[in-house]
């Protein structure tokens, strides 16, 4: 499972105060959970008795029945190494506590009582239950044994250093400082919340937000299981809402008001949470008010087995994903939101960041003009659009942008026409400076045969163009705007001291898979009619540096993705390798899952090897990047997010990919 843990939440059918019935319904779901390969199973708050028992909680008959039911659940799960969390009332020294019991392999490993007991509006819990702070004992005699009890319990799993479990109950999550925040600081990566939250208009949205936000603040996985609609409806209705969130994102969510007792499954990545915590230096910094918090007691649980590859049974998987596959959403294009509305807003914000960055740099230098090399390709188009927007935002005329097209040996009629037409439609100054003659002279000077189309042949053209742009910027008192994007920087697909260099690189934080959406967004929302159809053709043009002569039909002969591989794969590799520090084997597994039916596994492996080799070999280009704005979670700036030796070895990563 490559560090994934399969978490199941359940909200079984039940009868209020019928502990035997409720235990059997739980055990039915335990059997179903076995089929799914679940390694952690969470039931709702007070699930053994029912949350709505009221004054029946004062009846010793109910409490004794609840204790026997927990014993039976433990006995019946004696051969199951997965972790089971069950809610029930537990009496201690004449007081009653609303607890979550942690079970594994037929043993009770501890009880965590509810910290915050609501007594407002429809809630009357203080009538029956004491808050956890009133529990003066560290152990409790219950269900035939002596067991740890307290909110200071953390459950570690042998053989799984990244799987550490903390528990809070329902209302605890709604507090200003939830107990789960402290548990996360203590190392808990999986927070479980057995709950009994009733349904009100709009409450599910708020609940969903709470769960997602707590998983974000705690850099953790947060699983939530609420009471079934079979609870008493005397004054309230419960929906059985179940949620699993990871690092701020909801991975899985159940339908509400379902009395069938299905499971909700998600494969969660505890290793990812550990990586994020290691990466955030402020996560472990202590506050003065934490000094009074007692130390945590750590309970070691047994190892949990791996689920079979096809173990899903009749559970409800993550919506939109086949039950035969990894039970978590794995976006094919992690930099590009799938939701069109979210994607549109993302594009608007990115262009605003790019524009603001360039505007600040222009005003700081005291210059009034910008220069952009315009090839008719995607990256230079985006840079030109940002330059035009910057002039608009500063109240400067667009003809203060000098667009320079520099046709060379590989320039096609299509890109040439698009470059000129786009500049004209945007109202920028147009300059055309062919480079073939200068490049030919340079070939002669350095003794290179122009018939040999090697790296020298290509790089002479790239450096000639950069020299023109730099010198023209000096001549006109302008700022040279770079066009290279994040994906090219990751692969080193740029000419050192050629298109690699500029005075401000507006695309440096934008991956290739997102560039096209940004250009498309501009076409849809800001472009005039003259520009719109040109941008549409730019979007249809194959990605190419156009440094080799056109094919016999006059079309683009040098297609970047034929040489370095599909950018959608490389962006996927970049995201998981840099953002989460994932091992190459894990990146390969995720990519194989995400691109099933599109690329064969051996093809993905081939391009991943190439990505790793180029990523390490080309660091020297990233070590001296020009300034440029970070727009997303990943940046390769040597001054910001990514510091790496230019001569670091890739061998360990390649061996890990190959299973060595």
What is the tens place of the pLDDT at every residue in 571-625?
Answer: 999 999 999 999 999 999 999 999 999 999 999 999 999 999 999 999 999 999 9
Give residues with Cβ within 8 angstroms of 514, minimum separation 6.
Answer: 335, 336, 347, 350
Is-catalytic flag, 45?
A: yes
Distances (CA, A) of 22 to 94, 247, 313: 25, 33, 22
Is-catalytic flag, 347?
A: no
pLDDT at 388 over 60: yes
Element of type H or E holding 418: helix 413-426
Confirm whether pTM is higher than 0.85: yes
List, for residues 426-461, the tens digit of each pLDDT value: 999 999 999 999 999 999 999 999 999 999 999 999
| pLDDT for the residue 657 | 96
**From its phi and psi, is residue 121 left (phi > 0), alpha (psi between -120 and 50) or beta?**
left
Specify the CATH architecture of the domain 4-301. 4-Layer Sandwich (3.60)
User: What percent of the chain shows pLDDT beyond 70?
Assistant: 96
Give residues with Cβ within 8 angstroms of 443, minimum separation 6.
Answer: 449, 450, 457, 460
Element of type H or E holding 165: strand 160-167
Locate the domains of the chain by residue range: 4-301, 340-657
In 539-550, which positions are buried (b, 16+ CB within 10 angstroms) versus exposed (e)? Answer: eebbbbbbbbeb
Does the structural domain 340-657 have CATH classification 3.40.50.620?
yes
What gap in Å lies between CA 192 and CA 284, rounded to an integer? 21
Of the residues 32, 45, 99, 199, which is catalytic? 45
* Angle (CA) 433 437 441, round 5°: 135
Closest by alpha carbon to 89, among 48, 122, 125, 52? 48
Between 45 and 545, the higher pLDDT residue: 45
Of the residues 19, 53, 99, 170, which is catalytic? 170
List, for residues 318-361, the tens digit of each pLDDT value: 443 444 468 988 999 999 999 999 999 999 999 999 999 999 99
Categorize the per-residue pLDDT at 646 as very low, low, confident or very high, splitting at 50, 70 and 90: very high
What gap in Å lies between CA 620 and CA 346, rounded to an integer? 31
Is-catalytic flag, 170?
A: yes
Mean pLDDT along residues 4-14: 96
């Amino acid at each position: 499972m490559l560090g994934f843990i399969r978490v199941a939440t359940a909200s079984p059918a039940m009868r209020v105060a019928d502990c035997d019935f409720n235990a059997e319904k739980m055990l039915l779901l335990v059997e179903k959970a076995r089929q799914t390969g679940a390694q952690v199973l969470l039931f709702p708050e007070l699930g053994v008795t029912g949350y709505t028992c009221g004054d029946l909680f004062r009846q010793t008959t109910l409490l004794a029945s609840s204790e026997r039911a927990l014993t039976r659940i433990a006995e019946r799960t004696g051969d199951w190494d997965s972790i089971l969390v069950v809610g029930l009332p537990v009496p201690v020294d004449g007081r009653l506590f609303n607890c979550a019991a942690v079970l594994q392999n037929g043993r009770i490993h501890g009880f965590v009582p509810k910290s915050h007991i609501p007594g407002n509006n429809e809630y009357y819990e203080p009538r029956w239950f004491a808050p956890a702070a009133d529990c003066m004992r560290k152990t409790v005699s219950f269900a035939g044994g002596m067991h740890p009890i307290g909110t200071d319990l953390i459950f570690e799993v042998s053989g799984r250093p990244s799987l550490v479990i903390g528990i809070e109950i329902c209302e605890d999550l709604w507090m200003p400082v939830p107990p789960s925040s402290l548990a996360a600081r203590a190392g808990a990566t999986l927070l479980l919340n057995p709950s009994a939250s009733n349904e009100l208009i709009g409450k599910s949205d708020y609940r969903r937000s709470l769960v997602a936000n707590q998983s974000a603040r705690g850099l953790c996985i947060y699983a939530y299981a609420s009471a079934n609609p079979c609870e008493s409806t005397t004054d309230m209705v419960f929906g059985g809402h179940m949620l699993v969130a990871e690092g701020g994102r909801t991975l899985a969510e159940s339908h509400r008001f379902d009395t069938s007792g299905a499971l909700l499954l998600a494969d969660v990545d505890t290793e990812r949470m550990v990586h994020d915590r290691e990466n955030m230096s402020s996560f472990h910094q202590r506050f003065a008010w934490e000094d009074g918090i007692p130390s945590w007691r750590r309970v070691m649980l047994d190892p949990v087995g791996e689920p079979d590859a096809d173990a899903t049974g009749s559970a409800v998987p993550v919506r939109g994903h086949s039950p035969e596959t990894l039970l978590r959403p794995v976006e094919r294009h992690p930099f590009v939101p799938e939701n069109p509305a979210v994607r549109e807003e993302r594009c608007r914000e990115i262009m605003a960041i790019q524009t603001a960055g360039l505007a600040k740099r222009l005003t700081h230098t005291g210059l009034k003009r910008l220069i952009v090399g315009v090839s008719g390709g995607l990256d230079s188009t985006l840079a030109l659009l940002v330059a035009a927007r910057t002039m608009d935002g500063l109240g400067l005329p667009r003809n203060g942008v000098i667009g320079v097209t520099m046709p060379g040996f590989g320039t096609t009629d299509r890109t040439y026409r698009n470059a000129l037409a786009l500049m004209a439609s945007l109202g920028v100054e147009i300059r055309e400076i062919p480079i073939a003659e200068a490049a030919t002279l340079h070939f002669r000077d350095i003794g290179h045969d122009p018939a040999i189309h090697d790296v020298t042949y290509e790089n002479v053209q790239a450096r000639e163009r950069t020299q023109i742009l730099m010198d023209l910027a000096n001549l006109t008192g302008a700022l040279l705007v770079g066009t290279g994007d994040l994906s090219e920087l990751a692969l080193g697909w740029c000419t050192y001291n050629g298109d690699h260099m500029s005075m401000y690189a507006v695309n440096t934080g934008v991956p290739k898979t997102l560039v096209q959406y940004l250009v498309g967004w501009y076409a849809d929302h800001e472009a005039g009619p003259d520009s719109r159809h040109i941008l549409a053709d730019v979007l249809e043009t194959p990605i190419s540096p156009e440094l080799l002569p056109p094919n016999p039909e006059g079309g683009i002969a040098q297609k970047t993705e034929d040489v370095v591989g599909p950018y959608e794969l490389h962006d996927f590799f970049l995201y998981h390798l840099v953002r989460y520090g994932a091992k190459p084997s894990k990146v390969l597994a995720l990519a194989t899952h995400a691109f099933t039916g599109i690329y064969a596994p051996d093809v993905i492996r081939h391009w991943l090897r190439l990505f790793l080799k180029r990523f390490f070999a080309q660091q020297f280009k990233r070590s001296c990047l020009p300034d440029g704005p970070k727009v997303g979670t990943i940046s390769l700036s040597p001054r910001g997010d990514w510091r790496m030796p230019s001569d670091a070895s890739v061998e360990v990563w390649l061996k890990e990919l190959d299973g060595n």
